[in-house]
Amino acid sequence: MIKTILQRILQLIPILFIVSTIVFVLTRIIPGDPAVTMLGPQAPVEAVEELREELGLNKSIGEQYILYLKNVLKGDFGKSYAYNEPVTKLIFERFPNTLILTAISLILAIIIAIPIGIISATKQYSIFDYVSMIGALVGVSMPIFWLGLMLVLVFSVNLSWLPSIGMGSLENGIWDYVSHLILPSVCLATIPAATFARITRSSMLDIIKQDYIKSLRSKGLKERIVIWKHALKNALPPIITVIGLQISTSLSGAILTETIFGWPGMGRMIVDAIENRDYALIQGTVLFIAFLFVFINLIVDIIYLYVNPKINYEGKKGGE
């Protein structure tokens, strides 16, 4: 197992190298001169020229690329021009905000969706099954922007229960912090919850039909134990895959949710950086996200090994 993990970590290196190159090329391909974009329409021509020099944009692309790689290897992602601060500092300021939002919304999604999926599977074609699966269909196709605004209209504007925007601060008490979290996490949980419910249902249906479940039942085990212990454990791998994918997607910043609720996370920062053509910040954040993706995939793989030892990455035969 340790060997697998080490191998996986080694694989990170070429992936990150390729990603860093792609990011570099892409940022140079998108039209828009960073100096012009950042200084705005009223900047005099000389000021634009000076900034271009300061940003090193008048060097050849090759030179820029080598300089960039050198710095990345040293762990230096450069300085964001718009914020006038190191990219690493900005990432580590924002990432915890995204992390907490993602964590809460995923926990919410899992708590709601997995039981629904299981019940739907065990009571296939019941009213419960229909209602929850249609609910899931609606959830997965819900425009997040619309949903977010509706949540605010109902719970903030009309009912005045929850704040509409921003992130709370623990200094103002725990409620300030929690109340600001509720609407964005519900908004962000909708699509994952719908996806999880559907995948849980279908995976459970597969397992329930298996012979060994039948034999467990015939042995006289309680239905509750058959379903929640034996069947669920075997149905988990696809569910974990989907959750893992969802974690990486959400961690890279729930752009829409963060924008609507003014949540100072990664997503908003990336969009801003792209709009400003803040090259260093785009490169740094995208690399960081790529790293996260790969890292989470690795964790998911390790969890597989744990929940289902039959899965074998090393290609040894057998395994039972």
Partner 1 sequence: MINKRKLLAILLVIVLSVTMLAGCGSKPAENPDDGGKDNEAPAEEPGSNEPVSEEDKFGGVMTVALSSSPKNLDPVKYTGVYEGNVISSIADTLVKYKQDLSEIVPSLATEWTTSDDGKVYTFKLRDDVYFQKGEYQDGRQMTAADVKYALERSATESAMNRLGMLDHVEIVNDFEVKCYLKEPNSAFLTVLTDAGNVIVPQEEVEGWGDSFGSHLVGTGPFSIKEFKKDQEVVLERNENYWATKPYLEGLVYKIITDPNQMTNALRTGEIDIATDLGGESVKIVKDDAKLTIQEVPGLHVAYLYMNLMNGPTADIKVREAIIKAIDIEEMVKGIYQYDEAQRAYLPLPPGSWGYDETLEDSIPTYDPEKAKELLTEAGYPDGFSLEVYVSNKPARVKMCTIIQAYLKQNLNIDLEIKTAEWGTFSEVASSGEADMYGMSWTWYPDPFFFLNKMFHSSEIGALGNGQGFNNPDVDKLLDEALVISDTEQRAELYKQALKLITENYSRINYSNEKVIYGFNPEVQDFVMRADNKIVVCSPEVNVWMKH
Residues of the shown chain interacting with partner 1 in the complex, contacts defined by CB under 8 A: 30-34, 36-48, 50-51, 79, 82-85, 90, 93, 125, 130-131, 134-135, 138, 149-150, 152-154, 156-158, 160, 163-167, 259-262, 264, 268-269, 272, 275-277
Closest CB 131 distance from partner 1, rounded Å: 7
**What's the rounded Cα separation, in Å, for the pair 172 and 116?**
36
Of 88 and 312, CB closest to partner 1: 88
Of 93 and 206, CB closest to partner 1: 93
Of 201 and 277, CB closest to partner 1: 277
Of 13 and 30, CB closest to partner 1: 30
Closest CB 77 distance from partner 1, rounded Å: 15
Of 37 and 308, CB closest to partner 1: 37
Closest CB 85 distance from partner 1, rounded Å: 7
Closest CB 208 distance from partner 1, rounded Å: 19
Among 156, 247, 147, 230, residue whose Cα is nearest residue 195: 247
Closest CB 125 distance from partner 1, rounded Å: 6
**What's the rounded Cα separation, in Å, for the pair 82 and 105?**
31
Secondary element (H or E) of residue 79: strand 79-80
Closest CB 133 distance from partner 1, rounded Å: 9
Helix (H, G, I), strand (E, B) or coil at 84: coil
Decide if 82 contacts 273 (C-beta within 8 A).
Answer: yes
**What's the rounded Cα separation, in Å, for the pair 62 and 46?**
25
The token pair at 212 is 């060994």
Of 23 and 247, CB closest to partner 1: 23
**What's the rounded Cα separation, in Å, for the pair 142 and 187?**
10
**What's the rounded Cα separation, in Å, for the pair 202 and 206?**
6
Among 205, 70, 26, residue whose Cα is nearest residue 133: 205
The token pair at 145 is 């922007």
